[in-house]
């Protein structure tokens, strides 16, 4: 093992100070490509650590909330610059991220280097945020302004922790809140190091970080009487639990709970090699572990064979293995539980007689069998009642199903408990917009799907069981504020 890959230990960051968890407790993190490889140990916080972090954020809040939007924007840009200032450090954190998470190195480097872009975008809203609405009387002179909510708890999942952090943290800070961030226990090392760099830019207590097991500190954070807002990204079951805990204090929440995102390929779609690569990446990037990934592919019957052939060819070219290796294009699933979920869906479809194609190349069979791997898998026209179609796979498996009429495609796309993202593939811009408006989704991509098709200026979130509220964009900042109306007799204020 090289020095760069030796196990590390990360700490909590509270009140401007890097510190161990209470009693020095830690927990290990292993490489999902090589489960016997110890990547490092993360601090294992307990409720006392959470109390300390929330108390620090509460102390810092009055002064931070009085800073101007311009001052906050300046610090956001400073943090963005600092994140990429040391090229060797960026490479180290990206490599560490690859080893603890499993996604390929090119993706971890992309996520690491693009995080600052979301800070800069949020900083660009400063002037717009500083503009109040002023209504002259009669009946009254009224100013409609906004104020921050207070201490915000930001809970980040393991799949894209830095990108999702960038959809919550700069927005919370720009709105004037102080924060306590809890990264996922399954991917805490590189995110903790990255958060420390960010936190050091701001006054002590403005950004605090606690790591550990959700079962031990989740309720202590979400249910803390001094936490005034909770922003969570993760599963429906955990989101439902968070709502219950937050309800004890009537704490408002934003919940982004994933989706079962449909794509509709209409009969006039332009299906060249570039389209199939966008379709593939929208589905299988990060081994399919993306909330906005394409998870159900509905294709007009006249183009069905063509799409199956194109996606089969794209999947067959992939190299499945250790994400650190240059030739690897798909790494493992992050953890044993998620692998069991995905393979269980595939096995159920196989037992039901579905036409399955497990594709891709495996250079190291022994590693594949020992790690949390699943080759990219296509299920051709499976029974719509199967979990592979009804539920979110969150892994490298995709059902492809034909339809005969546009109305049928829209009905099938909307026949789900989810409503996060969707996509429409057609050569007709007007038709694309009409169909998109009929889809029950918070975001619809046209002739693309997923992170590579995302405009971060737009708000992101879903309908139905995909969650409550929005992240990203100008609207993502407003989620962290409440409206404040100020009125006087007419002619007195204005």
- Closest by CA to 271, choosing from 307, 309, 312, 304, is 307
**322 within 8 A of 331, measured Cβ to Cβ:** yes
Has 421 been annotated as catalytic? no
Helices (H), 327-482: 336-351, 365-370, 387-390, 406-414, 429-438, 473-478
Q: Which residues contact 77 (CB under 8 A, 6 or more apart)?
A: 119, 120, 123
From the candidates 100, 107, 111, 256, give the one annotated as an active-site residue. 256
Instruction: List C-alpha distances in Å: 156 to 76, 85, 91, 191, 333.
Output: 19, 24, 22, 10, 18
Alpha-carbon Rg for the chain in angstroms: 23
* Residue 330: exposure state from Cβ atoms within 10 A (0-12, 13-18, ≥19): buried
Residue 291 is a catalytic residue: yes
Q: Which is catalytic among the residues 98, 107, 111, 291? A: 291
Distance between CA atoms of 38 and 173, rounded to whole angstroms?
A: 35
What sign does the CA torsion over 78, 82, 84, 90 have?
Answer: negative
Q: Parallel, antiparallel, or unpaired for β 26-31 and 151-155? A: unpaired
Sort strands 377-380 and 261-265 into parallel, antiparallel or unpaired: unpaired
Q: Which residues are catalytic?
A: 256, 291
């Amino acid at each position: 093992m090289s020095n760069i890959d030796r196990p590390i230990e990360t700490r909590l960051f509270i009140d401007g100070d890097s510190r161990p968890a209470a009693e020095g407790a830690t927990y290990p993190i292993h490489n999902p490509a090589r489960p016997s490889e110890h990547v490092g140990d993360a601090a294992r916080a307990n409720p006392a650590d959470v109390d300390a972090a929330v108390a620090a954020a509460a102390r810092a809040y009055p002064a931070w909330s009085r800073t101007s939007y311009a001052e906050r924007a300046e610090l956001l840009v400073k943090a963005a610059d600092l994140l990429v200032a040391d090229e060797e450090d960026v490479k180290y954190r990206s490599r560490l991220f690859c080893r603890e998470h499993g996604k390929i190195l090119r993706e971890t480097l992309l996520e690491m280097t693009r995080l600052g872009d979301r800070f800069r975008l949020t900083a660009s809203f400063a002037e717009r945020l500083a503009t109040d609405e002023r209504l002259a009387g009669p009946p009254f002179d009224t100013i409609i302004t906004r104020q921050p909510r207070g201490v915000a708890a930001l809970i980040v999942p393991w799949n894209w922790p830095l990108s999702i952090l960038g959809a919550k943290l700069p927005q919370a800070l720009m709105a004037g809140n102080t924060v306590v961030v809890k990264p996922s226990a399954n991917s805490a090392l590189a995110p903790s190091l990255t958060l420390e760099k960010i936190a050091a830019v701001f006054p002590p207590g403005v950004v605090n970080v606690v790591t550990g097991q959700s079962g031990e500190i989740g309720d202590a954070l979400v249910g803390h009487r001094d936490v005034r807002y909770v922003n969570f990204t993760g599963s429906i079951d955990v989101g439902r639990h968070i709502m219950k805990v937050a309800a004890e204090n009537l704490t408002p929440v934003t919940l982004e709970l994933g989706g079962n995102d449909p794509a509709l390929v209409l009969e006039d779609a332009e299906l060249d090699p570039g389209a199939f690569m966008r379709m593939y990446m929208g589905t299988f990037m990060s081994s399919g572990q993306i909330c906005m990934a394409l998870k159900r592919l509905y294709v007009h019957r006249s183009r069905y064979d063509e799409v199956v052939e194109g996606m089969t060819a794209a999947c067959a070219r992939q190299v499945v293995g250790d994400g650190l290796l240059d030739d690897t294009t798909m790494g493992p699933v992050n953890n044993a539980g998620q692998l069991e979920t995905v393979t269980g869906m595939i096995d159920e479809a196989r037992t039901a007689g579905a036409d399955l194609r497990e594709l891709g190349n495996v250079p190291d069979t022994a590693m594949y069998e020992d790690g949390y791997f699943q080759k990219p898998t296509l299920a051709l026209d499976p029974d719509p009642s199967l979990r592979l179609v009804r539920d979110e796979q969150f892994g490298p498996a995709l059902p492809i199903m034909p339809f005969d009429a546009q109305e049928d495609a829209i009905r099938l796309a909307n026949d789900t408990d989810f409503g996060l993202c969707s996509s429409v593939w057609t050569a007709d811009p007007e038709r694309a917009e009409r169909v998109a408006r009929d889809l029950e989704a918070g975001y619809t991509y046209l002739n693309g799907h997923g992170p590579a098709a995302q405009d971060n200026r737009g708000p992101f979130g879903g309908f139905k069981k995909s969650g409550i509220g929005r992240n990203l964009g100008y609207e993502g900042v407003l989620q962290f504020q409440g409206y404040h109306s100020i009125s006087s007799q007419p002619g007195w204020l204005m």
